[in-house]
Amino acid sequence: MHEGQLRHSGEPYFTHPAAVAAILTEMRLDDATIITALLHDTIEDTRSTWADIATLFGREIADLVDGVTKLTNLQLSGAHSKQAENFRKLFMAMSRDLRVILVKLADRLHNMRTIRSMRPDRQVQKARETMEIFAPLAGRMGMQWMREELEDLAFKVLNPEARNSIIRRFVTLQKENGDVIPKITADIRVELEQQGIDAEVFGRAKKPFSVWRKMQEKQLSFSRLSDIYGFRIITRSEADCYRALGLIHSRWRAVPGRFKDYISQPKSNGYRSIHTTVSGRDGTRVEVQIRTRQMHEVAEAGVAAHWAYRDGERAWNPFAVNPADWIENLTERFGEADHDEFLEHVKLEMYSDQVFVFSPKGDVIQLPRGATPIDFAYAIHTRLGNSCVGAKVDGIRVPLWTRLKNGQSVEVIAASGQRPQATWLEIVATGRAKAAIRRSLREQDRSRFIRLGTELTRAAFEHVSRKMTDKALRTAARSLALPDADELLARVGSAELSVSQVINAIYPELAKPQDEIDERRAVAGLQADQEFTCAPCCNPLPGERIVGITYRGKGVVIHAIDCEVLADFEDQPGRWVDLHWREGRHPATYATHLSLTIRHDPGVLGRICSLIGQQGANIADLEFVDRKPDFYKLRVEVALRDREHLHALMTALEAESDVAQVLRIRHPDRRV
């Protein structure tokens, strides 16, 4: 069917499906998955149909090929709302048969291996999609080797200079110290043999992207980075794993806080291993992973180990997880969320590492890294989460925003009259907790919002000389994809939906240019007599997530949700106010500071100022920070409408050939 078709490289197209099938064969997957890999592009790229494949290969394979085809047509990067909708479709496909995703991941891996034959702009798009979606998904499924290779291939496209610099540093390090990997491997083997432990030992340098990410996260230079080498010990039994651990810790000094036991507390994808970091030869820090052969097979294949074959027979592995149970655990409560919430939950689940904590009864609760006692409470039961008023960790009373650590014992203090607070949304880390809190908040405010929404909507109908009837409300709700009129009125009352959107849904011909929002009413969530000001430390813009801090005599000061100053108020939760910007067109009065590096040529500054004016932004202040013979560095204060206005302005400036760099800057020194 692919006869006559060529890849971008000029090779026959069939080399691609054959290579995808080879990747899955190396993973020892079942016949149906490998056949699907060979056929995965036939429905999309040839005249073959589902019926043709079903006739020749059976319904199971036809459905798998059809599933891969539908995934290929999903645009997983792009507009936020479309991305959220397509993520939902992706996870629906996963829930029907996880092998569809395995074929898609292998397809993406081969495409990334041969990406250099594509146009540069397509390379960047595919690499970014791989880094943001497919690599984390492979990691979440337990296929760490695939995650690392996908990340490194994408890194090679997105930041080749950084990758090459790390590779050069590895080469320099090897010249200075020799190849330490075989030396340390030999040291470990000798120790194991002396203790009579039969095991295999492997060592490797970590991938460039893994090193780069650690440098960025810890803000360290390469020379200060530790544990850039990793070693694996594959033993015959679980008991030998712990014997090997004792031997490693007695021979080399263990690094505090760098020990994890995933054998006694396995990850949800079946991963089991002991991780420890020690100071090895010449003080070099190395990470050591210890596991059995069966654990290693699951660590390499992840969820895919369920379908593994060996010598033509199904390879039973006691550590392989049931894919149906895994996907149910991953997508728990996703069905209750709207598109935006779903996307938020998916990314929380895909990108998070895990911690294991204990309930008072000794049950182990698995949570994402960064989880709080509120997340723990909701993991036990929604009712417990809703009624949570405090928590004890290892017997000591702690604030609800405390980040939990591995091995801690957590006890939730509950009260029957308690209800979730809006500020909890910024504290919790799990999708389950966020969904339950939002649902409770909506229920608490629903009747009040419906009454307020009714009055606002009635006034809007009268303004356009129309009568607000039940039928009109039902029609508007249906047009806006809402379940009923009450939900529509509740969203209007909570400012999630504007009355102009309701009117426009029924009478689009009456739509008028959006009126500018009164600056004094730009924020929803304040009390009637409360005034607000924007914090100069972060200069929040409409469209950004915000929170308010109350001050005596000053009303409420609004901060961006990621403002560093908010850390000063963590022990004063009573001063926090949950706020959001009203939808609509805001006046261009919100101060934003930009750092510009521009070419030092005649007329350049004038052109840049004119460009800013053409974008509808007003320059309030301009300061020269640094003057070089060929470049100027400026700090410019501009007045903008909202986040979208900022994005449009920065895009226009970045496109200007005389602008070397444009950055938004905050002012952490100017505290309120």
Query: Which positions are annotated as active-site residues?
Result: 44-45
**DSSP symbol at 207:** P
Could you give the dihedral angle defined by the CA atoms of residues 445, 448, 449 and 451, in that order, rounded to the nearest 10 degrees?
A: 160
Q: Which two tokens stand for residue 246?
A: 């004792």
Nearest Cα neighbor of 587 from 537, 518, 493, 535 is 518
Cα separation, 132 vs 137, whole angstroms: 9
Cα separation, 183 vs 189, whole angstroms: 10
Location of structure tokens 């296929």: 143
If phi over 0 gives left and psi between -120 and 50 gives alpha, with beta otherwise, what is residue 66?
alpha
Q: Is the distance from CB of 429 to CB of 371 less than 8 angstroms? A: yes
Q: Which two tokens stand for residue 386?
A: 């809703």
Name all contacts of 620-629 with Cβ < 8 Å and 24+ positions apart: 620/591, 625/595, 627/600, 628/600, 629/600
Cα separation, 526 vs 555, whole angstroms: 10
Q: Which two tokens stand for residue 95?
A: 């829930």
Helix (H) or strand (E) holding 119: none
Cα separation, 393 vs 357, whole angstroms: 10
The H-assigned helical ranges of 114-179 are 120-129, 135-140, 144-158, 160-177
Instruction: Name residue 549's beta-bridge partners.
Output: 557, 576
- Angle formed at CA 14 by CA 8 and CA 19, multiple of 5 degrees: 90
Q: Is 52 exposed, middle or buried (0-12, 13-18, 19+ CB in 10 A)?
A: middle
Cα separation, 228 vs 210, whole angstroms: 9
Q: Which two tokens stand for residue 504?
A: 């426009």
Q: What does 476-541 look like in DSSP terms, one character per residue?
A: HHHHTT-SSHHHHHHHHHTTSS-HHHHHHHH-GGG--PPPBPPGGG-EES--TT--EEE-TTT---
Question: At residue 202, what are phi and psi to the nearest 5 degrees?
Answer: -130, 145
Cα separation, 117 vs 123, whole angstroms: 9
Cα separation, 529 vs 437, whole angstroms: 27
Residue 528 CA from chain centroid, whole number: 37
Residue 315 CA from chain centroid, whole number: 34
